[in-house]
Amino acid sequence: MSDARRRPPSSTDVAALAGVSQKTVSRVLNGEPYVTEEVRERVLAAARELGYRRNTAARALHLGRFHRIGVVSIGSSLYGPSSLLVALERQARELGYAFAVAYTGEGAGLTNAVESLLAQGVDAIVVSDPIDDRIDDPIDGGQDLRIDPDVPVLSFRPVPGLDGPRVVVTGASGVDAGRQATEHLLGLGHATVWHVAGPHRWWAARDRARGWREALAAAGAPEQPALEGDWSPASGYAAGRVLAANPRVTAVFAANDDMAIGVLRALAEAGRAVPEEVSVVGMDDIPAAAYLSPPLTTIRQDFEAIARHGLALLAAEIERSPGGPALGDLPAHLVVRRSTAPPAK
C-alpha cells in the first residue's frame, strides 16, 4: 500500500493536503498573525498526518542563520571539561540552539576544530578549554588563532591570540580557585603550599597556578617551584613521590582531583599520613572525592552557572543586541573534607 516516499514531506505537501497556499502553512508554523483559527487547525492536522518536519537547511539558507552553537572541547573525558560540555548543551537547547561539538587533541588542534565547526555552519563558537597553541611550533612560536571575525566567540578567560570585535569573555578562569585553595591551607597554619600544576599549555592550569602564587605572595609565604603534571593520577603520583621525599612539605594544592589522587597514593606509599603530616587540596570535586582515603578537600565550580552566564552573553552577541556587561570570574567554592588539617606542631 504505502510506498516508501523518498523525499520527506515539504510544506508544499502540507499545503496541498490542507487545501491552502504554501505561504499559509509557513504562517501557521511560524505563529504569524492573520490566520483563521479554522485554517490553522487544518494545517496543523495536515502537518501531523504527513509527519512534516521543517527543513532547517532551507530555513538556514534563507535566514543566513543556523541556530546552532559550536563548541570546541578538549578530546578527553576529564571531569571538568565534560561537565562544562553537558552544562553548555543544556543551556544551548534551552535558548533554542542546536549543539555541535568538535574536539581537539591528537593532532587536531584548535584551528582544525574551529574550521570543522565553521564548515558545518554555526552561529557562534565556544572555546571551552583553551590551550596555548602558540608554543606548538618550534619554528616561529606558532601562530595566532584565526577565527572569522564575524562569528561571535565565547571563552571563559582571555585567550591570547584570539581577538576580535565579537569575542566575549566571561566565566571562571580558575585564578580565584587557586587562591582559595591556597588561602585555606595557609589559614590552617601551614608555612607555605606546594603546587602540582596542570600542563603549562593549558590556560586553566596557568590560572590556577597564578591564584596559588598570588595567595602565597599576599601572605608573604615563600614560593616553591610548581611541579607540572598532565591532569592524570599517574602524573600526580610522580609529583607526589617527589613531594613525599621532602620532609618540609606539609601542604599541597593539586590543580585537579585526579592528580590529587596520585599525590595521595604517593604519600600513602611513603608512609606520610594525610592530613596529619601533609594536607592535600584538589580541584573539581569529582564524585569520588568524598570517598577517597581520606576524603578530599577540594574546590568546586558551578558549571551550570558558568554555562548559563556565558551562553546568555553569547546569544546576545549573536542577535547583536546590547547584552549585559560581562561579569568577571564566577566564584569557586571550597569544599572542606578530611585531607586538610593544621600542620603537626
Instruction: Identify the residue among 44, 45, 61, 75 touching DNA (CB under 7 A).
Output: 61
Among 1, 4, 62, 220, contact with DNA (rule: CB under 7 A): 62
How far CA 254 is from CA of 151, 192, 303, in Å, comes to: 36, 14, 20
Q: Are 256 and 204 in contact (CB under 8 A)?
A: no
Contact between 3 and a second copy per CB under 8 A: no
- Residue 23: CB atoms within 10 Å: 11
Residue 219 near DNA by CB under 7 A: no
Task: Establish if 271 lies at the interface with a second copy (CB under 8 A).
Answer: no
Please give the full DSSP string across 62-119, using - where no structure is assigned. HHS---EEEEEEESS--HHHHHHHHHHHHHHHHTT-EEEEEEEBTTB-HHHHHHHHHH
Integer Rg of the chain from CA:
26
Spatial CB neighbours of 41, under 8 Å, sequence gap ≥ 6: none
Q: Within 13 A of 98's CA, how many CA atoms are on the CB side?
A: 13
Task: Tell whether residue 344 is a contact of a second copy (CB under 8 A).
Answer: no
With CB under 5 to 8 Å by kind, the binding choice for 21 among a second copy, DNA, none is DNA
Gap between the Cα atoms of 173 and 179, Å rounded: 11
**334: part of which helix (H) or strand (E)?**
strand 333-335
The cell for 341 is 588539617
User: Which residues share a beta bridge with 200?
Assistant: none
The three cell numbers of residue 197 are: 600544576
For residues 20 to 59, the per-residue mask of contacts with DNA, x marking binding by CB under 7 A and - elsewhere, is xxxxx-xx-xx--xxxx-xx------------x-xx--xx
Size of the site for a second copy (CB under 8 A): 59
Q: Do residues 311 and 170 lie in contact, with contact meaning Cβ atoms separated by under 8 Å?
A: no
Q: Is 12 in the site for a second copy (CB under 8 A)?
A: no
Handedness of CA 29, 31, 32, 33 (dihedral sign): positive
* Residue 155 in contact with DNA, rule: CB under 7 A: no
| Using rule CB under 7 A, residue 119 touches DNA | no
Nearer to DNA (CB atom), residue 57 or residue 327: 57
Residue 47 interacting with a second copy (CB under 8 A):
no
Q: Mapping DSSP to helix (H, G, I), strand (E, B) and coil, where does residue 316 land? A: helix
CB under 5 to 8 A by kind: which of DNA, a second copy, none does 20 bind?
DNA
Residue from 31, 64, 247, 271 touching DNA (CB under 7 A): that is: 64
Closer residue to DNA (CB): 41 or 223? 41
Least distance to DNA, CB of residue 318, Å: 16
Shortest Cβ 328–a second copy spacing (Å): 26
The reply to whether 51 sits near a second copy by the rule CB under 8 A is: yes
Site for a second copy in 137-176 (CB under 8 A): 148, 150
Residue closer to a second copy by CB (options 30, 36) is 30
Cα distance between residue 93 and residue 95, in whole Å = 5
Q: Count how many residues are written for the chain.
A: 345
Q: Alpha carbon 125 to chain centroid distance?
A: 12
Query: Which residues contribute to the site for a second copy (CB under 8 A)?
Result: 7-8, 51, 53-61, 64, 66-68, 75-77, 79, 82-83, 85-86, 89-90, 93, 98-103, 106, 108, 116, 118-121, 148, 150, 232-234, 236-237, 258, 261-262, 264-265, 268, 287-288, 290-293
- Chain residues in the site for DNA (CB under 7 A): 7-8, 10-12, 20-24, 26-27, 29-30, 33-36, 38-39, 52, 54-55, 58-59, 61-64
